[in-house]
Amino acid sequence: MSGVRVLVVEDHVELARDIAQGLRDRGIATDLAYDGAAALQKGTVYRYDVIVLDRDLPGVHGDAVCVGLRDGESDARILMLTASATIGDRVEGLNLGADDYLPKPFAFEELVARVHALARRAPAATPRLVRGDVLVDRAARRATRSGRELSLTRKELGVLELLLAADGAVVSAEELLERVWDENADPFTRTVAVTLGRLRRKLGAPDVIETVLGAGYRMR
């Protein structure tokens, strides 16, 4: 799902990395936190669409993280993971502010499906983005111009989605890098410029993406 950013909070490092890599393989920018304190810090600094939160964290418990994120006015959707699968535990987790609940062990494809469903419910996630003759259908993950299907990579679609969502406002290269890639992306890379170049060619003439010198990019 392009333009979506996820934070995975899990103290089992190998499991956390496996989840993150699986989500990245599906085009979802994913960051990691291995404890509750790091989760609260990242959840405050960055804007996430979905936070996959292990409830049974050492130190700062997952329940406290969930409450802290909600009290900090994070609008991310929270998918809580736990080894405890009783109805009482699920109800308690949801009452703390979680949006969904997935018991361990889980099938990875179910986790992906739930992340997609929660991302579509995120406040900014309108299903269709349109500006002029350019359209992005978020649910179908497809883009068209004047009705012509565009063959875009996940990153190209993510960049186009963010530019359309900005509705004519300037989006910086740093924000594109943060939202479409993830925290591990090199801030000095030319990845954004290269991706935009390919996107412009695929969109065709007339050019609908404007470069604002020293500021970023916007849709005309």
Residues 35 and 133 in one domain: no
Q: What is the pLDDT of residue 154?
A: 82
Question: What is the secondary structure of 81-113 as a DSSP string?
Answer: EES---HHHHHHHHHTT-SEEEESS--HHHHHH
Query: How many whole angstroms separate alpha carbon 67 and alpha carbon 62?
Result: 9
Pairwise pLDDT comparison (190 vs 54), residue with the higher score: 54
Total domains, the chain: 2
Q: Which domain holds residue 32?
A: 5-121
Query: pTM score > 0.75 for this model?
Result: no
Residues 117 and 64 in one domain: yes
Residue 126 pLDDT class (50, 70, 90 cuts): low
Residues 102 and 133 in one domain: no
Residue 23 pLDDT class (50, 70, 90 cuts): very high
Residue 24 DSSP label? H
Pairwise pLDDT comparison (177 vs 163), residue with the higher score: 163
Domain of residue 207, CATH code: 1.10.10.10
Closest CA to 27 of 193, 200, 179, 201: 179
Q: How far is CA 188 from the centre of its chain?
A: 21
Q: What is the pLDDT of residue 186?
A: 63
